[in-house]
């Protein structure tokens, strides 16, 4: 890949200054950057002071055996104590930790004191089931309070949890249980999705029939649907409810394994990413404080992700709880019972900080502006995005229709592997650019390098790397140190290779350009899928677009685009529309970026975490049979798309 790789095609000149009121009392200021630049490790040591440690650490970082890092060496803490008990001890027991909203409209309010009782009971129950420090526990639950409670109960006793997203198949669950050799699965009879109970227990039964490591299955009753029972099954209400609500948390080493989480599988086989305790909690607490400008006394924070993804681990559970935040947690889908459900939730709980993903934002654009306009969203003061590059048009729509042109948008770049946010605007400091994740956070060393590992100058593009270890970095791939070294630390000497392309604009701000694997080579020019997609989404009739490079006899690769029109748009059929879009892209990016083919499709293939799976579109565009589809949300999408593609050659 040459330096012209992710060439600066797209012009985006809109700028949004931080709201003066927010800037005046922001948690992170311009000085924060300077302070961290002066003494990076000292900066992180100060952030670690946000936590309560049972035993102080010696060295901040031990990097004598790279790439195996140890942070806060010798320190001891209990993560659950830090997330729950210490707030109760500080007199904040009555503060709401979670406003939980079930999809059918049932609710539960858990204060920090309630959470303490529940976590302690669950911790005692795990001990009664024979779970001990260092054991692995698989958690396969819907978005109900027992999910964070189970995670915290594991953390409390030092068991390592592996949360598996509740939409995954028996096969996917079985693989993850086997890989981690989990002893226990915590699940539920089911959860609510799209207005009906959706069973989970049968999937677990199928999975554990072939997982010898599993001794017991702990089952929460959520839907009350009948479910088969086996000898290994234990009902949560039988076992947990009767436990003592007291449990004394023991300190664990800063490097004690907190959880394993498998990546979403956008690019291939998921990897079991291992995170540990002290550094992880430090960085998620700090970033949640700085990026979301959290004021725990007054804010109501809502991250709409599923806890089955890293975003939910770090920014629904650990970061917010470590900071004593009040959060909303919602069980179901955004369109049940109607397409305004999320806005209704914001209105109901007076949410002030909202964190979601570009895929959701583009869906709302497709559904139409009038839906959010029907709700009172005036409580919001800051909105965020994570998961994919946010197309400039989606950013501007989000800022305008959800943020009332008042709320700063924080576009946060990070990965399962990084554990916490790495690149993001600081809402009180940064003048936002639509589509740019902007700058590495204080204490984080990120750069863009060419294929020789040399930093590119401003205006250049290449590979995103992290140049120094960071507290919430993955420690390894579970059980596979070699794959850890090979995947992340072998591409460039001494640097973490993220697998994403990026460019630095003339001001040195960072624009994420999607997966390095997705870059297209058209007539000798490297073109990023993100830029072509953003150009398509900037057309008023387009809500979503996915682009892939298909082998072409003339140009090497040719751009094939799949677009979903906006709900209300007319004239989105036929060759006329395709030509209109091709011309639009040519105008925005230059004729080289003009798609060879444009397909209007009803849906796009996405991972369960909502990311577009371009590799499947490439299979379609190149007339191949499809690769691994196990992490695809809905298999029928590919049939719908293939049916639309008579012309794909
Ligand atoms: P796998 O590694 O198994 O292919 P995945 O990379 O999709 O799965 P995650 O860790 O959930 O799994 O996603 C991290 C990736 O998501 C990043 O590497 C990046 O490509 C993308 N991403 C996340 N946030 C942003 C953002 N704000 N801007 C651009 N890209 C983002
Ligand atoms: Mg990845």
State mean pLDDT over 270-286: 96
> Using CA positions, which residue lies closest to atom 26 of ligand 1?
413
Is 339 annotated among the ligand-binding residues?
no
Phi, psi of 228 (to 5 degrees): -65, 145
Question: Using an 8 Å Cβ cutoff, are 148 and 154 in contact?
Answer: no
For residue 239, the CA-to-ligand 1 centroid distance in Å is 38
Is 639 annotated among the ligand-binding residues?
no
Is 424 annotated among the ligand-binding residues?
no
Task: Indicate whether residue 548 lines ligand 1 (CB < 6 A).
Answer: no
> Using CA positions, which residue lies closest to atom 28 of ligand 1?
389
> Using CA positions, which residue lies closest to atom 31 of ligand 1?
388
For the CA of 416, the closest atom of ligand 1 is 10
Where b means 16+ CB within 10 Å and e means fewer, 219-240 reads bbebbeeebeeeeebbebeebb
Residue from 409, 415, 417 to probe ligand 1 pocket by mutation (most atoms less than 8 Å from CB): 415
Determine if residue 564 is left, alpha or beta; phi over 0 gives left, psi from -120 to 50 gives alpha, anything else beta: beta
640 has pLDDT over 90: no
Residue from 6, 172, 263, 308 to probe ligand 1 pocket by mutation (most atoms less than 8 Å from CB): 263
Pairing relation of β-strands 597-600 and 446-449? unpaired
State mean pLDDT over 547-555: 90
For residue 501, the CA-to-ligand 2 centroid distance in Å is 12
Task: Indicate whether residue 266 lines ligand 1 (CB < 6 A).
Answer: yes
For the CA of 514, the closest atom of ligand 1 is 20
For residue 498, the CA-to-ligand 1 centroid distance in Å is 9
**Run of H or E residues at 216:** strand 216-220
For the CA of 273, the closest atom of ligand 1 is 10
- Closest CA relative to residue 265, chosen from 416, 381, 390, 154: 416
pLDDT at 1: 40
Task: Indicate whether residue 437 lines ligand 1 (CB < 6 A).
Answer: yes
Is 415 annotated among the ligand-binding residues?
yes
For the chain, counts of helices (H) and of strands (E): 22, 30
State mean pLDDT over 367-372: 95
pLDDT in tens, 370-407: 999 999 999 999 999 999 999 999 999 999 999 999 99
Question: Using an 8 Å Cβ cutoff, are 455 and 449 in contact?
Answer: yes
Q: pLDDT band at 504, cuts 50/70/90?
A: very high
State mean pLDDT over 269-282: 94
Task: Indicate whether residue 314 lines ligand 1 (CB < 6 A).
Answer: no
Task: Indicate whether residue 386 lines ligand 1 (CB < 6 A).
Answer: yes
For residue 416, the CA-to-ligand 1 centroid distance in Å is 8
CA quadruple 580, 584, 587, 592: dihedral positive or negative?
negative
Task: Indicate whether residue 534 lines ligand 1 (CB < 6 A).
Answer: no
What is the model's pTM?
0.94
- Rounded distance between C-alpha atoms, residue 6 and residue 514, angstroms: 10
> Using CA positions, which residue lies closest to atom 17 of ligand 1?
415
pLDDT in tens, 195-221: 999 999 999 999 999 999 999 999 999
Q: pLDDT band at 645, cuts 50/70/90?
A: low
Task: Indicate whether residue 471 lines ligand 1 (CB < 6 A).
Answer: no
CA 577 centroid distance within chain = 34
Task: Indicate whether residue 512 lines ligand 1 (CB < 6 A).
Answer: yes
CA quadruple 191, 197, 202, 207: dihedral positive or negative?
negative
- Rounded distance between C-alpha atoms, residue 300 and residue 530, angstroms: 33
For residue 396, the CA-to-ligand 2 centroid distance in Å is 26
Task: Indicate whether residue 500 lines ligand 1 (CB < 6 A).
Answer: yes
Is 462 annotated among the ligand-binding residues?
no
Q: pLDDT band at 548, cuts 50/70/90?
A: very high
Domain-wise residue ranges, the chain: 523-643
For residue 388, the CA-to-ligand 1 centroid distance in Å is 6
For residue 499, the CA-to-ligand 2 centroid distance in Å is 7
For residue 418, the CA-to-ligand 2 centroid distance in Å is 10
Residue from 311, 388, 410 to probe ligand 1 pocket by mutation (most atoms less than 8 Å from CB): 388
> In the chain, what percentage of residues exceed pLDDT 90?
83
Is 416 annotated among the ligand-binding residues?
yes
- Closest CA relative to residue 449, chosen from 68, 12, 1: 1
> Using CA positions, which residue lies closest to atom 1 of ligand 1?
265
Task: Indicate whether residue 270 lines ligand 1 (CB < 6 A).
Answer: yes
Task: Indicate whether residue 487 lines ligand 1 (CB < 6 A).
Answer: no
Is 317 annotated among the ligand-binding residues?
no
- Closest CA relative to residue 439, chosen from 455, 427, 454, 450: 427
For residue 515, give every residue at least 6 positions away whose Cβ sits within 8 Å of its Cβ, in sequence order, or none: 266, 267, 499, 500, 501, 614
For residue 172, the CA-to-ligand 1 centroid distance in Å is 20
> In the chain, what percentage of residues exceed pLDDT 70?
96
Q: Which CATH number applies to 523-643?
A: 3.30.300.30
pLDDT in tens, 66-107: 999 999 999 999 999 999 999 999 999 999 999 999 999 999
User: Of the bound ligands, which one is closest to the alpha carbon of residue 530?
Assistant: 1
State mean pLDDT over 11-17: 90
pLDDT at 4: 46
For residue 622, the CA-to-ligand 2 centroid distance in Å is 24
For the CA of 631, the closest atom of ligand 1 is 3
- Rounded distance between C-alpha atoms, residue 134 and residue 157, angstroms: 9
User: Of the bound ligands, which one is closest to the alpha carbon of residue 415?
Assistant: 1
Chain mean pLDDT for the chain? 93
For residue 8, the CA-to-ligand 2 centroid distance in Å is 24
Is 515 annotated among the ligand-binding residues?
yes
Is 511 annotated among the ligand-binding residues?
no
Question: Using an 8 Å Cβ cutoff, are 298 and 269 in contact?
Answer: no
Determine if residue 524 is left, alpha or beta; phi over 0 gives left, psi from -120 to 50 gives alpha, anything else beta: left
Task: Indicate whether residue 389 lines ligand 1 (CB < 6 A).
Answer: yes
595 has pLDDT over 70: yes
Task: Indicate whether residue 611 lines ligand 1 (CB < 6 A).
Answer: yes
Is 340 annotated among the ligand-binding residues?
no
For residue 267, the CA-to-ligand 1 centroid distance in Å is 10
């Amino acid at each position: 890949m040459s330096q012209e790789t992710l060439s600066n095609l797209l012009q985006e000149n809109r700028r949004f200054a931080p709201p003066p009121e927010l800037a005046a009392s922001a948690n992170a200021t311009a000085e924060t950057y300077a302070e961290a630049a002066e003494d990076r490790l000292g900066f992180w040591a100060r952030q670690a002071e946000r936590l309560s440690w049972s035993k102080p650490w010696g060295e901040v970082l031990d990097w004598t055996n790279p790439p195996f890092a140890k942070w806060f060496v010798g320190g001891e803490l209990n993560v659950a104590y830090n997330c729950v008990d210490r707030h109760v001890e500080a007199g904040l027991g009555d503060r709401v930790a979670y406003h939980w909203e079930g999809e059918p409209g049932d609710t539960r309010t858990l204060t920090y004191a309630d959470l303490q009782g529940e976590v302690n009971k669950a911790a005692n129950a795990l001990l009664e089931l024979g779970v001990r420090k260092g054991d692995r526990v698989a958690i396969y639950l819907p978005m109900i309070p027992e999910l964070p409670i189970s995670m915290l109960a594991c953390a409390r006793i030092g068991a390592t949890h592996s949360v598996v997203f509740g939409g995954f198949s028996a096969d996917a669950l079985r693989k993850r249980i086997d890989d981690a050799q989990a002893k226990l699965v915590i699940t539920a009879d089911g959860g609510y999705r799209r207005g009906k109970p959706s069973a989970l227990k049968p999937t677990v039964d199928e999975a554990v029939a072939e997982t010898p490591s599993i001794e017991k299955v702990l089952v929460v009753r959520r839907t009350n649907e009948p479910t088969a029972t086996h000898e290994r099954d234990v009902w949560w209400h039988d076992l947990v409810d009767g436990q003592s609500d007291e449990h004394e948390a023991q300190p664990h080493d800063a490097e004690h394994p907190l959880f394993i989480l498998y990546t979403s599988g956008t690019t291939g086989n998921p990897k079991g990413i291992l995170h540990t305790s002290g550094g992880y909690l430090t960085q998620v607490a700090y970033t949640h404080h700085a990026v979301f400008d959290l004021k725990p006394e007054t804010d109501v924070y809502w991250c709409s992700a599923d806890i089955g993804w890293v975003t939910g681990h770090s920014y629904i559970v650990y970061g917010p709880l470590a900071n004593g935040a009040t959060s909303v947690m919602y069980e179901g889908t955004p369109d049940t019972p109607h397409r305004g459900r999320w806005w209704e939730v914001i209105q109901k709980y007076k949410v002030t900080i909202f964190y979601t993903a570009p895929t959701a934002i583009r869906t709302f654009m497709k559904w139409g502006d009038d839906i959010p306009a029907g709700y009172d969203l005036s409580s919001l003061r800051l909105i965020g995005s994570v998961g994919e590059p946010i197309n400039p048009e989606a950013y501007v729509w989000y800022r305008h229709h959800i943020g009332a042109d008042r709320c700063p948008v924080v576009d946060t770049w990070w990965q399962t592997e990084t554990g916490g946010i790495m690149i993001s605007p600081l809402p009180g400091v940064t003048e936002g650019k639509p589509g740019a994740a902007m700058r590495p956070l204080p204490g984080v060393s990120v750069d863009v390098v060419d294929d020789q590992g040399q930093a590119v100058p401003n205006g250049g593009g290449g590979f995103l790397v992290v140049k120094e270890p960071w507290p919430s970095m993955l420690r390894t791939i579970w059980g596979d140190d070699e794959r850890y070294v090979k995947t992340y630390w072998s591409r460039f000497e001494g640097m973490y290779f993220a697998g994403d392309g990026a460019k630095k604009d003339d001001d040195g701000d960072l624009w994420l350009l999607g997966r390095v694997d997705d870059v297209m080579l058209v007539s000798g020019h490297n073109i990023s899928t993100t830029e072509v997609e953003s150009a398509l989404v900037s057309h008023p009739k387009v809500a979503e677009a996915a682009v892939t490079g298909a082998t072409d006899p003339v140009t090497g690769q040719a751009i094939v685009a799949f677009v979903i029109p906006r709900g209300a748009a007319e004239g989105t059929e036929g060759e006329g529309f395709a030509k209109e879009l091709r011309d639009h892209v040519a105008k925005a990016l230059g004729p080289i970026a003009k798609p060879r083919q444009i397909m209007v499709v009803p849906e796009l293939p996405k991972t369960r975490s909502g990311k577009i799976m371009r590799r499947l579109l490439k299979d379609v565009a190149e007339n191949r049979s499809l690769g691994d589809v196990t992490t695809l949300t809905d298999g029928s999408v590919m049939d719908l798309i293939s049916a639309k593609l008579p012309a794909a050659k």
